[in-house]
Amino acid sequence: MDTNYYQSSNFKVFNHKFELPLNYSNENSVTITVFVREIINLDKEKKNQPYLIFFQGGPGYESPRPISISGWIKRACEEYKVLLIDQRGTGLSTPVCSRSFEGLSDQEIADYLTYFRADNIVRDAEEIRKMIIGDDRWSVLGQSFGGFCAMHYLSFYQDSLDKVYITGGIPPLDAHPDDIYQRTYKRVLEKNNLFYNIFPQAINHVNRIADYLIDNEVYLPNGDLLSIRRFQQLGLNLGFSDGMPMLNFLFEEAFNGKKISYLFLKNILSIQTFDTNPIFTVLHEACYAQNFATNWSANRILDDFKEFSSYNNKKLFFTGEMLYPWMLDDYQELRVFKNAANIIAKKTDWPKLYDEKTLINNKVPIAAAVYTNDMYVDRDYSISLANIIPNINVWETNEYEHNALRSDGKKVLDLLFERIK
């Protein structure tokens, strides 16, 4: 373990680097670096606080950077020493990017990426726990996909856990992505209609942009073509509390005279992170896979929802958190992953992610926030799994969207901490 630290205001921040196996089943495995940032409240330093490790949403996204220690992180530091782990392949943890695989075949790239699901992320956490606190238990906070990681932790390493907190991330126990996306597309359509109801002026703005993209080849500052289908992917933001107003303001500033403005194009490039975080694109559907292939589920199920491919009624509908094979062509930074992603989409021998027998005998206290109108994680699947798990306290609310931990983190943690004191 390699460690250094600095002090920020009333907090001490340690940067840890761990060398861990890529493949835990192979004693001769190559190693990867896993980075963890530890934050300690100096006012609590002498109280020997327990540890809380945070799993970020995604998959494929690094932990938040504590530019200012506020919100949920500040609140968590009142109770815990907080560990922000950059999940393997993200941030400072041997990041996966288009330049990571020079000289490797498509099959070798695919094989490498199969080790970046929740199971190995949790194995990394377990190894780190042993190095930091030995046999002692720690607590987990999982946001979105981080909740999927927390549920895997509960399934296979329950004796390592003291308490578990989940925000917008109780996964389906064994649902196929086909069924998941049937539900998700419906919720995305609802969010589209809500967006246009709140911001009716956006209809004309969006129509003007769409017409322009149909009649002209428009390129983003990095050289990628801004097609209609890529423009539609801005709908990924419709499920965040600030997403709808953000998109409305973005569309307002789309034109400079009669041409698309550079500001608009630059903003789109900064909003869309599929190419900077390629694990999300390549493994998103695989994070549901258990002994079955996904076969680009969202792309196939899209055929059942003609609203997204029809622009004849002069209302463009945006897609959401769906990944499509065409992205491996349209995003130039993703092209190196194209054939590997297709291999992964056909893979059938994915191991189980959750163990029902263990979960129905759970003894770890769990507090979970379920957002009734969550666009990304299906409420009914979440409640269905929660109903079979003992010692779980579910707080369901329609007051917040999926990003509540980011938008109102102190209040969210206050409510969760109260449920398992």
List the structure tokens of 188. Answer: 């995305």
Instruction: Please state the rounded mean pLDDT for residues 109-118.
Output: 98
pLDDT exceeds 80 at position 421: no
Instruction: Please state the rounded mean pLDDT for residues 185-203.
Output: 97
pLDDT digits (tens, 9 = 90+) for 382-393: 999 999 999 999
CA 354 to CA 177: how far, in whole Å?
16
Report the pLDDT value the prediction gives residue 149, as an integer from 0 to 100. Answer: 98
Instruction: Please state the rounded mean pLDDT for residues 23-37.
Output: 96
Cα dihedral sign, 71-235-285-173? positive
Report the pLDDT value the prediction gives residue 265, as an integer from 0 to 100. Answer: 98
Contacts of 96 (CB under 8 A, 6+ apart): 60, 89, 90, 113, 116, 278, 279
Instruction: Please state the rounded mean pLDDT for residues 257-266.
Output: 97
| 179 labelled catalytic | no
Instruction: Please state the rounded mean pLDDT for residues 239-259.
Output: 97
For residue 367, the cross-strand partners are 165, 393
pLDDT exceeds 90 at position 278: yes
% pLDDT > 90, the chain: 92
Report the pLDDT value the prediction gives residue 8, as an integer from 0 to 100. Answer: 73
| 16 labelled catalytic | no
Report the pLDDT value the prediction gives residue 312, as an integer from 0 to 100. Answer: 63
Report the pLDDT value the prediction gives residue 125, as an integer from 0 to 100. Answer: 98
Instruction: Please state the rounded mean pLDDT for residues 327-348.
Output: 97
Instruction: Please state the rounded mean pLDDT for residues 277-300.
Output: 97
Among 135, 159, 303, 349, the active-site one is 349
β strands within 151-286, DSSP E: 161-167, 255-256, 259-260
pLDDT band at residue 7 under the 50/70/90 scheme: confident
pLDDT digits (tens, 9 = 90+) for 299-326: 999 999 999 987 766 889 999 999 999 9
CA 37 to CA 33: how far, in whole Å?
13
For residue 38, the cross-strand partners are 14, 83
pLDDT exceeds 90 at position 106: yes
Report the pLDDT value the prediction gives residue 313, as an integer from 0 to 100. Answer: 65
Report the pLDDT value the prediction gives residue 47, as an integer from 0 to 100. Answer: 78
| 384 labelled catalytic | no
Domain 2-173+354-419 fold is: Rossmann fold (3.40.50)
pLDDT exceeds 70 at position 205: yes
What average pLDDT does the chain have? 96
pLDDT exceeds 70 at position 5: no
Instruction: Please state the rounded mean pLDDT for residues 381-408.
Output: 97
What burial letters (b/e) apply to 46-61, b meaning 16+ CB within 10 Å?
A: eeebebbbbbbbbbbb
pLDDT digits (tens, 9 = 90+) for 118-170: 999 999 999 999 999 999 999 999 999 999 999 999 999 999 999 999 999 99
pLDDT digits (tens, 9 = 90+) for 64-90: 998 888 999 999 999 999 999 999 999
Report the pLDDT value the prediction gives residue 311, as an integer from 0 to 100. Answer: 75
pLDDT band at residue 59 under the 50/70/90 scheme: very high
Residue 94's φ and ψ, nearest 5 degrees, are 35, 70
pLDDT exceeds 80 at position 270: yes
Instruction: Please state the rounded mean pLDDT for residues 345-372.
Output: 98
Task: Count the Cβ atoms, other than its own, within 10 Å of residue 416.
Answer: 24
Residue 372, CB half-sphere, CA atoms under 13 Å: how many?
6
Looking at residue 377, the DSSP 8-state letter turns out to be S
pLDDT band at residue 354 under the 50/70/90 scheme: very high
Residue the block writes with tokens 């194009």: 265
Domain(s) labelled CATH 3.40.50.1820 in the chain stretch across 2-173+354-419
Among 144, 155, 297, 382, the active-site one is 144
> Which among 45, 36, 39, 32 is positioned nearest to 3, based on CA atoms?
36
